[in-house]
Structure 1
Amino acid sequence: MRKNSVKNTRINGEVLKELSNIIRGEIKDPRINPMTSVVSVEVAPDLKTCKAYISVLGDKESQEDTMKGLKSAEGYIRRQLAKNINLRNTPEITFILDQSIEYGVNMSKLIDEVTQYDNEHHVEEPVQDSED
Protein backbone atom coordinates (compact mmCIF):
# COMPACT_ATOMS: atom_id res chain seq x y z
CA MET A 1 0.00 0.00 0.00
CA ARG A 2 1.41 3.35 -1.03
CA LYS A 3 1.57 6.23 1.43
CA ASN A 4 -1.06 8.38 -0.30
CA SER A 5 -3.28 5.64 -1.68
CA VAL A 6 -7.05 5.86 -1.35
CA LYS A 7 -6.99 3.04 1.20
CA ASN A 8 -4.36 4.78 3.33
CA THR A 9 -6.25 8.08 3.17
CA ARG A 10 -9.45 6.32 4.27
CA ILE A 11 -7.65 4.57 7.14
CA ASN A 12 -6.14 7.91 8.26
CA GLY A 13 -9.61 9.46 8.30
CA GLU A 14 -11.13 6.59 10.30
CA VAL A 15 -8.29 6.56 12.84
CA LEU A 16 -8.53 10.36 13.21
CA LYS A 17 -12.29 10.16 13.85
CA GLU A 18 -11.97 7.33 16.39
CA LEU A 19 -9.00 8.93 18.18
CA SER A 20 -10.97 12.17 18.52
CA ASN A 21 -13.94 10.31 19.99
CA ILE A 22 -11.76 8.33 22.41
CA ILE A 23 -9.81 11.38 23.63
CA ARG A 24 -12.91 13.56 23.92
CA GLY A 25 -15.32 11.06 25.46
CA GLU A 26 -13.64 8.05 27.02
CA ILE A 27 -10.44 9.18 28.76
CA LYS A 28 -11.00 10.40 32.30
CA ASP A 29 -7.43 11.62 32.98
CA PRO A 30 -7.63 15.08 34.63
CA ARG A 31 -4.30 16.06 33.02
CA ILE A 32 -5.87 16.05 29.56
CA ASN A 33 -7.20 19.48 28.62
CA PRO A 34 -10.86 19.46 27.49
CA MET A 35 -9.83 21.67 24.55
CA THR A 36 -7.70 18.94 22.98
CA SER A 37 -8.21 18.01 19.35
CA VAL A 38 -6.62 15.62 16.89
CA VAL A 39 -5.45 17.73 13.94
CA SER A 40 -4.24 14.97 11.65
CA VAL A 41 -3.16 11.35 11.65
CA GLU A 42 -0.54 9.55 9.56
CA VAL A 43 -0.81 5.78 9.64
CA ALA A 44 2.20 3.99 8.14
CA PRO A 45 1.43 1.87 5.06
CA ASP A 46 2.25 -1.33 7.01
CA LEU A 47 -0.24 -0.30 9.76
CA LYS A 48 2.43 -0.75 12.45
CA THR A 49 2.86 2.87 13.53
CA CYS A 50 0.76 5.99 13.62
CA LYS A 51 1.63 9.65 14.22
CA ALA A 52 -1.21 11.61 15.79
CA TYR A 53 -0.83 15.39 15.69
CA ILE A 54 -2.54 16.88 18.74
CA SER A 55 -3.53 20.50 19.28
CA VAL A 56 -4.14 21.78 22.81
CA LEU A 57 -5.70 25.17 23.45
CA GLY A 58 -4.06 26.47 26.60
CA ASP A 59 -0.78 27.49 28.16
CA LYS A 60 2.52 25.61 27.93
CA GLU A 61 1.96 23.73 31.21
CA SER A 62 -1.49 22.56 30.09
CA GLN A 63 -0.02 21.32 26.80
CA GLU A 64 2.73 19.39 28.59
CA ASP A 65 0.25 17.84 31.06
CA THR A 66 -2.04 16.80 28.20
CA MET A 67 0.83 15.13 26.33
CA LYS A 68 1.87 13.26 29.52
CA GLY A 69 -1.74 12.15 30.05
CA LEU A 70 -2.05 10.91 26.46
CA LYS A 71 1.29 9.10 26.73
CA SER A 72 0.16 7.28 29.88
CA ALA A 73 -3.23 6.38 28.30
CA GLU A 74 -1.59 5.11 25.10
CA GLY A 75 -2.31 1.44 25.83
CA TYR A 76 -5.96 2.11 26.61
CA ILE A 77 -6.36 4.27 23.49
CA ARG A 78 -4.79 1.57 21.33
CA ARG A 79 -7.12 -1.10 22.80
CA GLN A 80 -10.18 1.08 22.17
CA LEU A 81 -8.96 1.75 18.63
CA ALA A 82 -8.58 -2.00 18.01
CA LYS A 83 -12.10 -2.55 19.34
CA ASN A 84 -13.66 0.22 17.21
CA ILE A 85 -11.74 -0.22 13.94
CA ASN A 86 -11.23 -3.59 12.31
CA LEU A 87 -7.64 -3.46 11.02
CA ARG A 88 -5.17 -6.28 10.46
CA ASN A 89 -2.75 -4.56 12.83
CA THR A 90 -3.58 -1.87 15.35
CA PRO A 91 -0.91 0.81 14.96
CA GLU A 92 1.33 1.92 17.80
CA ILE A 93 0.43 5.57 18.37
CA THR A 94 2.94 8.39 18.78
CA PHE A 95 1.44 11.67 19.94
CA ILE A 96 3.02 14.84 18.55
CA LEU A 97 2.10 18.32 19.77
CA ASP A 98 0.94 20.42 16.82
CA GLN A 99 1.06 24.15 17.44
CA SER A 100 -0.08 25.29 13.99
CA ILE A 101 -3.55 26.33 15.19
CA GLU A 102 -2.04 28.31 18.07
CA TYR A 103 0.41 29.90 15.63
CA GLY A 104 -2.45 30.86 13.29
CA VAL A 105 -4.47 32.41 16.12
CA ASN A 106 -1.40 34.38 17.26
CA MET A 107 -0.73 35.64 13.71
CA SER A 108 -4.37 36.66 13.30
CA LYS A 109 -4.17 38.59 16.57
CA LEU A 110 -1.03 40.42 15.40
CA ILE A 111 -2.67 41.32 12.07
CA ASP A 112 -5.73 42.65 13.92
CA GLU A 113 -3.49 44.79 16.16
CA VAL A 114 -1.71 46.30 13.15
CA THR A 115 -5.03 46.97 11.39
CA GLN A 116 -6.44 48.61 14.52
CA TYR A 117 -3.30 50.76 14.87
CA ASP A 118 -3.61 51.83 11.23
CA ASN A 119 -7.27 52.75 11.69
CA GLU A 120 -6.63 54.71 14.89
CA HIS A 121 -3.74 56.66 13.41
CA HIS A 122 -5.31 57.03 9.96
CA VAL A 123 -2.33 55.56 8.21
CA GLU A 124 -2.94 55.80 4.48
CA GLU A 125 -1.77 53.08 2.16
CA PRO A 126 0.59 54.42 -0.49
CA VAL A 127 -1.12 54.97 -3.84
CA GLN A 128 0.72 53.49 -6.76
CA ASP A 129 0.66 55.36 -10.05
CA SER A 130 -0.40 53.24 -12.96
CA GLU A 131 1.43 54.05 -16.11
CA ASP A 132 -0.49 53.41 -19.32
Structure 2
Amino acid sequence: MSSSPPPSHPNVNPNPQPTLTLTGTLDRETTQRLCEEARAALQATGAEVLDCDAAGVGPPVLAAIDALARLQLTARRAGGRIRVRNPAPHLRELLDLVGLPIEVEVGRQAEQREPPGRVQEAVEARDPPL
Protein backbone atom coordinates (compact mmCIF):
# COMPACT_ATOMS: atom_id res chain seq x y z
CA MET A 1 0.00 0.00 0.00
CA SER A 2 1.48 3.29 -1.08
CA SER A 3 0.45 6.63 0.28
CA SER A 4 0.55 9.70 -1.85
CA PRO A 5 2.34 12.81 -0.58
CA PRO A 6 0.17 15.50 0.95
CA PRO A 7 -0.94 18.27 -1.39
CA SER A 8 1.57 21.08 -1.51
CA HIS A 9 1.06 24.78 -1.80
CA PRO A 10 3.01 26.52 -4.57
CA ASN A 11 4.78 29.01 -2.28
CA VAL A 12 5.17 26.80 0.80
CA ASN A 13 8.23 24.66 1.41
CA PRO A 14 7.11 21.16 2.62
CA ASN A 15 9.89 20.99 5.24
CA PRO A 16 8.95 20.70 8.94
CA GLN A 17 9.75 24.42 9.21
CA PRO A 18 7.31 25.84 6.65
CA THR A 19 8.47 28.74 4.51
CA LEU A 20 6.30 31.19 2.63
CA THR A 21 8.02 33.13 -0.16
CA LEU A 22 6.85 36.72 -0.53
CA THR A 23 7.50 38.30 -3.91
CA GLY A 24 6.51 41.39 -5.82
CA THR A 25 4.04 43.98 -4.63
CA LEU A 26 1.81 42.71 -1.84
CA ASP A 27 -1.66 43.93 -2.72
CA ARG A 28 -4.92 42.90 -1.01
CA GLU A 29 -5.59 39.93 -3.27
CA THR A 30 -2.05 38.59 -2.86
CA THR A 31 -2.21 39.15 0.90
CA GLN A 32 -5.46 37.20 1.18
CA ARG A 33 -3.96 34.29 -0.77
CA LEU A 34 -0.79 34.36 1.34
CA CYS A 35 -2.84 34.30 4.55
CA GLU A 36 -4.75 31.23 3.32
CA GLU A 37 -1.45 29.53 2.45
CA ALA A 38 0.04 30.50 5.82
CA ARG A 39 -2.93 29.07 7.74
CA ALA A 40 -2.83 25.85 5.72
CA ALA A 41 0.94 25.46 6.17
CA LEU A 42 0.80 25.96 9.94
CA GLN A 43 -2.12 23.60 10.34
CA ALA A 44 -0.60 20.94 8.08
CA THR A 45 2.81 20.95 9.77
CA GLY A 46 1.88 21.85 13.33
CA ALA A 47 4.84 24.24 13.32
CA GLU A 48 4.92 27.18 15.72
CA VAL A 49 6.86 29.45 13.33
CA LEU A 50 6.22 30.20 9.69
CA ASP A 51 9.26 31.65 7.96
CA CYS A 52 8.39 34.37 5.47
CA ASP A 53 11.20 34.96 3.00
CA ALA A 54 10.83 38.65 2.14
CA ALA A 55 13.88 38.98 -0.13
CA GLY A 56 11.65 39.34 -3.20
CA VAL A 57 9.18 41.87 -1.80
CA GLY A 58 8.68 44.86 -4.06
CA PRO A 59 8.68 48.48 -2.94
CA PRO A 60 8.22 48.68 0.85
CA VAL A 61 4.97 50.56 0.80
CA LEU A 62 2.51 50.31 3.65
CA ALA A 63 0.79 47.47 1.77
CA ALA A 64 3.81 45.28 2.59
CA ILE A 65 3.48 46.17 6.28
CA ASP A 66 -0.26 45.48 6.08
CA ALA A 67 0.46 42.08 4.52
CA LEU A 68 2.97 41.18 7.24
CA ALA A 69 0.58 42.30 9.98
CA ARG A 70 -2.21 40.19 8.46
CA LEU A 71 0.12 37.21 8.13
CA GLN A 72 1.12 37.58 11.79
CA LEU A 73 -2.55 37.75 12.84
CA THR A 74 -3.38 34.69 10.72
CA ALA A 75 -0.45 32.78 12.21
CA ARG A 76 -1.48 33.69 15.76
CA ARG A 77 -5.03 32.52 15.10
CA ALA A 78 -3.55 29.22 13.88
CA GLY A 79 -1.45 28.93 17.05
CA GLY A 80 1.85 30.17 15.66
CA ARG A 81 3.76 33.24 14.57
CA ILE A 82 5.76 34.44 11.58
CA ARG A 83 9.44 35.23 11.22
CA VAL A 84 10.47 37.56 8.40
CA ARG A 85 13.70 36.51 6.74
CA ASN A 86 15.96 38.51 4.45
CA PRO A 87 14.01 41.78 4.30
CA ALA A 88 15.59 44.65 2.40
CA PRO A 89 17.08 47.33 4.70
CA HIS A 90 14.30 49.81 3.88
CA LEU A 91 11.64 47.19 4.74
CA ARG A 92 13.36 46.60 8.08
CA GLU A 93 13.36 50.35 8.71
CA LEU A 94 9.66 50.54 7.90
CA LEU A 95 8.98 47.64 10.29
CA ASP A 96 10.91 49.53 12.97
CA LEU A 97 8.97 52.70 12.27
CA VAL A 98 5.54 51.11 12.68
CA GLY A 99 6.63 48.96 15.65
CA LEU A 100 5.10 45.73 14.35
CA PRO A 101 6.01 42.94 16.81
CA ILE A 102 7.49 40.49 14.29
CA GLU A 103 10.70 38.54 14.55
CA VAL A 104 13.12 39.55 11.79
CA GLU A 105 16.07 37.44 10.68
CA VAL A 106 18.83 38.79 8.51
CA GLY A 107 21.43 36.22 7.60
CA ARG A 108 21.83 34.14 10.76
CA GLN A 109 20.97 36.75 13.35
CA ALA A 110 17.41 37.07 14.60
CA GLU A 111 16.02 40.04 16.42
CA GLN A 112 12.65 40.28 18.10
CA ARG A 113 10.46 43.26 17.30
CA GLU A 114 8.47 44.53 20.21
CA PRO A 115 5.85 47.24 20.30
CA PRO A 116 7.25 50.58 21.40
CA GLY A 117 6.79 51.11 25.11
CA ARG A 118 6.69 54.12 27.37
CA VAL A 119 9.97 55.65 28.46
CA GLN A 120 10.75 54.98 32.08
CA GLU A 121 13.41 56.86 33.95
CA ALA A 122 14.77 56.26 37.39
CA VAL A 123 14.20 59.14 39.79
CA GLU A 124 16.37 59.89 42.78
CA ALA A 125 14.53 60.79 45.97
CA ARG A 126 16.55 64.04 46.17
CA ASP A 127 15.54 65.19 42.65
CA PRO A 128 13.06 68.10 42.59
CA PRO A 129 9.82 67.45 40.70
CA LEU A 130 9.63 68.69 37.12
Q: TM-score, normalised by structure 2?
A: 0.29
Q: Which has the higher helix share?
A: 1
Q: Which of structures 1 and 2 has the larger relative contact order (alpha carbons within 8 angstroms, sep 6+)?
A: 1
